[in-house]
Structure 1
Amino acid sequence: MYTHHKNIITAGIPVESADKAIIFLHGRGATAVDIISLNDHFQVDDAALFAPQATNHSWYPYSFMAPENENQPALNSALELISELVADIVAKGIPLNKIFFAGFSQGACLTLEYISRNAAQYGGAIAFTGGLIGETINRANYSGDFMQTPVFISTGNPDPHVPVSRVEASSDILKEMNAEVQVKIYPGRAHTISREEIDLARKLVFHL
């Protein structure tokens, strides 16, 4: 088993002069460089961009729906890494309500897991094909108030990794915690990110 080292790729404008920050979380087998290039499509031009690189290109070893203990200690290490990154960004002067998250697949699951364990008024969150982590959802893991943080979750139906039922259950929990959640399910869509999803994320989360 493994833990993660603090290896953060940055782009966009310097954090000291940025109005907002976006944290990008890559999928299994991918890289921080891959995921941070999503902003070429989002075209958010007033943000400092951050993308941590997972050890072994994977945030946790097994399916996000495996028993949680099987994905430890990697999962907790990943969550701690994000927590440290958020604290670093806040220390540089960007408040939580100006911090955004965007992840794909394993990174989308990690995005939802992190924000739900640490609910607050964030700028917004985008989970391209993801859901809360665990064999079953442990509601006791999640607390706080999102204060109407916009969250966009999308998936294909069927998706080889993320069942629609888990997306819907995750959405319900975030709504209970006062997030403004929009879910979009695409029949027959491959395990990828479509142009329509990017356009919806720009509109619903970044208000572009």
Structure 2
Amino acid sequence: MHTKEIYTAGEELRVAKKVLVLLHGRGGSAKEFLSLANHLNTPEFAILAPQAKDFTWYPNSFLAPVAQNQPSYASSLELLKELLNDIKETGITSENIFFAGFSQGACLSLEFVTRNAQKFGGVAAFTGGLIGDKIYTENYSGNFEGTPIFIGSGDPDAHVPVSRVKESAEILKKMNANVEVEIYKNRPHTISEDEIKLANKFVFN
């Protein structure tokens, strides 16, 4: 099960006006993923990057039957819920809380915010979609109230099918998110400079 091991950068949480929660991909480290914030328009942000146990948020593909990713999957969502509550307890409201993730971290970011939809500052999902062998709409509730959400992905991508990206975007739109999707032909499984540029323009402007 995941523990609250959080790496930080940027402003101190108690004095920051805004917060960015960064979620690393499978096999990645939170400490290294903090460097992504150097490329985003986050100068006055507190940057919080939780570390997944054994460097993975859940063991199998995000498209696997949900039971095959338990209990790590439930533990990941619970960790993010605790972290969100911790941030709010400092007085920072949801519209000043942002999420960004890559691959497995992007999937987890999208899944968490959609289960807890509210007016967030914004979400940047670099190669991700909602989690499950199918999309379980009964898990999702709330209203994004115009939250900007950027999703970038490759076509094809070795881990995230474009069909799931588009299906996820439609769910987000129905919940009143302002969604921007960019699909890149034959882009490797990575974060491109263009995605960073679009995320800054659309989410971190």
TM-score by length of 1: 0.98
- Cα RMSD (Å) of the superposition? 0.6
1:15 matched residue in structure 2: 13
In structure 1, distance between residues paired with 2:67 and 2:115: 17
Unaligned runs of 5+ residues in structure 2 are none
Instruction: Indicate whether 1:5 and 2:9 are aligned.
Output: no
In structure 2, distance between residues paired with 1:34 and 1:153: 22
What displacement does 1:101 show? 0.1
What displacement does 1:164 show? 0.1
The letter of the residue matching 1:102 is A
What displacement does 1:35 show? 1.5
Unaligned runs of 5+ residues in structure 1 are none
In structure 2, distance between residues paired with 1:93 and 1:47: 14
1:206 matched residue in structure 2: 204
In structure 2, distance between residues paired with 1:121 and 1:199: 23
Question: Secondary structure in 2 aligned to 1:17?
Answer: coil
In structure 2, distance between residues paired with 1:82 and 1:11: 18
In structure 2, distance between residues paired with 1:200 and 1:108: 16
Match of 2:144 among 143, 146, 171: 146
2:107 matched residue in structure 1: 109
In structure 2, distance between residues paired with 1:85 and 1:155: 27
The letter of the residue matching 1:152 is F
What displacement does 1:43 show? 3.8
The letter of the residue matching 2:65 is P
- Following superposition of structure 1 onto structure 2, how do residues 75-86 of structure 1 map, counting pairs within 5 Å? 75-86=73-84
- Following superposition of structure 1 onto structure 2, how do residues 1-208 of structure 1 map, counting pairs within 5 Å? 3-207=1-205
The letter of the residue matching 2:16 is A
Count of aligned positions = 205
* CA deviations over 1:177-200 (Å, ceiling 9, x no partner): 000000000000000001110010
